Amino acid sequence: MKCAACQFENPSGMRFCGQCGTALARQCPQCHAEAPPGFRFCGQCGASLQAPPPQAAPAPTPRAPAAAPSIATYTPKHLADKILKSRAAVEGERRQVTVLFADVAGFTTLAERLDPEDVHRIINRCFELITAEVHRFEGTINQYTGDGVMALFGAPIAHEDSPRRAAHAALGIQGAVRDYGKQLQAERGVTVQMRIGLNTGLVVVGSIGDDLRMDYTAVGDTTNLAARMQTAARPGSVLVTEATHNAIQGYFETLDLGELPVKGHSPVRAFEVLRTRGRRSRLDVAAERGLTPLVGRERELETLLDRFAEVKNGRGQMVSLVGDAGIGKSRLLLEFRRALAEAGEDVTWLEGQCVSFGQSIPFLPLAEQLRRNFGIEEFDGEPEIIAKVEHGMRRMGELEPHTPYIRYLLSVDPGDPAIAAMDALARRRKVFDAVRALMLRGAARHPIVFVFEDLHWVDHSSEEYLTALMDWVVSARIMLLMTYRVGYTPPFGTRSFLTTLTLQNLTERDALVMASRVLGTDRFPEELRAALVAKAEGVPLFVEEVTKTLLDLGVIQRDNGSYRIVRPIADAHVPDTIGFRE
């Protein structure tokens, strides 16, 4: 029997894992479903786990299906297609993944208080809630463990932000199960809570079956530590290892719990994930740690300033910043904003970010821009949002007829029941008209810079809005800035007022200048220079991260104002943290 925590293959009949000590599930003698320790009856078919299999089949009675939850059945078709299409390419790959373990706290007590059919219904509902959140962030369920699940983020579906996706999913699970627990408490006098643990590390991907189950081999303690975090978590909480915390730091509020004892392992530093820190970009997080001075983007910055001069004179402009991940698109925007502030420009700057897991959310970046415009905070409730929108629209003057549509766009009560009953296309036109009126009124007072970041992840509704926006920009004091990666084709074609800036990799000279600014000196060995150029490939983010990683790993050390190599660079593993921070 394979241990769900560490994947060790135990001999049949064992009750505890011989590798890590985790209790092993038993098998129902009638339907062969796995049953967790402490169960006296099977949670799938209700048969006693103490008695031998019956000699004759009982009379048919209505009951829950005997089969264990099916990964393929629960997986949405679009995710299943992604997994099956990619399986040949990923088999045998080493992948950085974040492993999520979740289980129902106090499951044994629940099973003792309720009859098996009720327990089965409750656990199945928990599975549905957990699975929905995992799939929402494009993770995959790899195993149902009787009273919980094991999920993977980063394999078989690869994402550069897998640790963040896993943390978002974990908080989403806790919120959904918390609400379900309140419902159970009111209806049945019982409640459920989840314990969740995360760890990030390497796995070697094995075969992926038609049922979507993925075999894999964990490298080191990747899986085991995630299970240990789950075991250590208090009910209702999410615990992560330091490896996962390093990848999500700055995007979530966390609590450092210090080192926790782990069975069969040295103490492990753990963190509790408390809540998100709102919509934050990689650059927002990096700015808190301190930014390296901008290198090699002087010409592009000058172009942005020239286009803004046109905007001030009433000739609207659009600028696309195009380039691969880490090339410096967001950093260039930050420097442009700083330059405007240093020049004393009276400008309104409104940002909206597209995210990889937000493509099904209509108007996501536009709603973020409006929230910034009205000063809406992350934890404002509906009354506060409505009050701020009403006040802002009144202050702009003569915009009150458009207010219900702005409220609708921000997902609060529009104040007019006829809006929800409108034809979808007619309502969309009204929403566009409302945003247009607000934008033009604002631009008459001050120039406005609208920023749409990571347009390669834009939702369809926002794409339609951007296309409509083209006709409004040209004669207003509006600058529209968009960033996206090579490979995305925007829907608006070419325009006389559109400038496209494609950011190139840094030259070798600029890359070394940037590395010297990270190190605080340009005195370092030729071998280090060559390694930085080769590993970073001229990508600014990579230059910074590789340099800092070599410092953190102790490969290079400062010595009398210069740096020397104290360990072979070729032996140093530069972890795949670049994508985590993009």
pLDDT tens-place string over residues 437-455: 999 999 999 999 999 999 9
pLDDT at 391: 94
- Structure confidence by residue, pLDDT tens digits, 376-407: 987 788 999 999 999 999 998 889 999 999 99
pLDDT at 60: 36
Find out whether 510 and 294 touch, Cβ atoms under 8 Å. no
Three-state DSSP class for residue 67: coil
Helix (H) or strand (E) holding 557: strand 556-559
Q: Domain for residue 219, yes or no?
A: yes
Q: Domain for residue 28, yes or no?
A: no
One domain, residues 514 and 496: no
One domain, residues 409 and 333: yes
Three-state DSSP class for residue 205: strand
Q: How confident is the model at residue 83 (pLDDT cuts 50, 70, 90)?
A: low
Q: Domain for residue 25, yes or no?
A: no
pLDDT at 58: 40
pLDDT at 521: 83
Output the average pLDDT for the chain.
80
Please state, in angstroms and rounded to a whole number, the distance separating the CA atoms of residues 393 and 543.
Answer: 46
Going by C-beta distance under 8 Å and a sequence separation of 6 or more, which residues neighbour residue 319?
Answer: 303, 304, 307, 479, 480, 481, 482, 498, 499, 500, 501
One domain, residues 203 and 326: no
Q: How confident is the model at residue 218 (pLDDT cuts 50, 70, 90)?
A: low
One domain, residues 560 and 517: yes
Average pLDDT over residues 541-560: 80
- pLDDT greater than 80 at residue 270: yes
Average pLDDT over residues 22-47: 55
CA-closest candidate to residue 140, choices 88, 99, 177: 99
Q: How confident is the model at residue 67 (pLDDT cuts 50, 70, 90)?
A: very low
One domain, residues 458 and 549: no
For 558, half-sphere exposure in the C-beta direction (CA atoms, 13 angstrom radius) is: 12
265-276/252-262 β-pairing:
antiparallel
One domain, residues 300 and 359: yes
Q: How confident is the model at residue 502 (pLDDT cuts 50, 70, 90)?
A: very high
Q: Domain for residue 9, yes or no?
A: no
End position of a domain, from candidates 465, 500, 535 = 500
Task: Answer positive or negative: Cα dihedral of 155, 158, 164, 170.
Answer: negative
- Structure confidence by residue, pLDDT tens digits, 290-307: 667 778 899 999 999 999
pLDDT at 541: 82
Q: Domain for residue 17, yes or no?
A: no
Report the range out of 100-114, 220-234, 336-350 with the highest average pLDDT. Answer: 336-350
Average pLDDT over residues 255-277: 90
Going by C-beta distance under 8 Å and a sequence separation of 6 or more, which residues neighbour residue 383?
Answer: none
Q: Domain for residue 421, yes or no?
A: yes
As separate numbers, helices (DSSP H) first and strands (DSSP E) second, the chain gives 19, 17
Q: Domain for residue 34, yes or no?
A: no
User: What is the share, in percent, of the chain residues with pLDDT greater than 90?
Assistant: 37
| 106 vs 75, more confident | 106
- pLDDT greater than 50 at residue 68: no
Please state, in angstroms and rounded to a whole number, the distance separating the CA atoms of residues 155 and 311.
Answer: 46
> How many Cβ atoms sit within 10 Å of the Cβ of residue 220?
11
Token pair for 526: 């030729």
CATH for 489: 3.40.50.300
One domain, residues 479 and 523: no
- Structure confidence by residue, pLDDT tens digits, 130-174: 988 998 888 888 888 778 898 989 877 777 788 999 999 999 999
Token pair for 197: 């643990």
One domain, residues 482 and 382: yes
Q: Domain for residue 465, yes or no?
A: yes
| 572 vs 267, more confident | 267
Token pair for 339: 């330059």
Q: Tally the domains of the chain.
A: 3
Average pLDDT over residues 261-273: 89
One domain, residues 254 and 343: no
Find out whether 491 and 520 touch, Cβ atoms under 8 Å. no
Q: How confident is the model at residue 288 (pLDDT cuts 50, 70, 90)?
A: low
- Structure confidence by residue, pLDDT tens digits, 338-349: 999 999 999 999
pLDDT at 4: 55
CATH for 172: 3.30.70.1230
CA-closest candidate to residue 202, choices 580, 581, 575: 575
Burial of residue 130 (CB within 10 Å: 0-12, 13-18, 19+) is buried
Token pair for 244: 């996962």
Find out whether 501 and 320 touch, Cβ atoms under 8 Å. yes
One domain, residues 158 and 97: yes
Where in the sequence is the domain holding 562, given as residue range(s)? 508-581
Entry pTM = 0.64
Q: How confident is the model at residue 19 (pLDDT cuts 50, 70, 90)?
A: low
End position of a domain, from candidates 276, 296, 320 = 276
- pLDDT greater than 60 at residue 213: no
Average pLDDT over residues 211-226: 67
pLDDT at 57: 38
| 397 vs 336, more confident | 336
End position of a domain, from candidates 500, 520, 540 = 500
Find out whether 37 and 23 touch, Cβ atoms under 8 Å. yes
- pLDDT greater than 50 at residue 110: yes
pLDDT at 525: 81
Average pLDDT over residues 318-347: 92
One domain, residues 222 and 316: no
pLDDT at 20: 54
- pLDDT greater than 70 at residue 549: yes
One domain, residues 69 and 119: yes
Least confident of 5-9, 333-337, 352-356: 5-9
86-90-95-101 Cα dihedral, nearest 10 degrees:
60
Please state, in angstroms and rounded to a whole number, the distance separating the CA atoms of residues 233 and 194.
Answer: 9
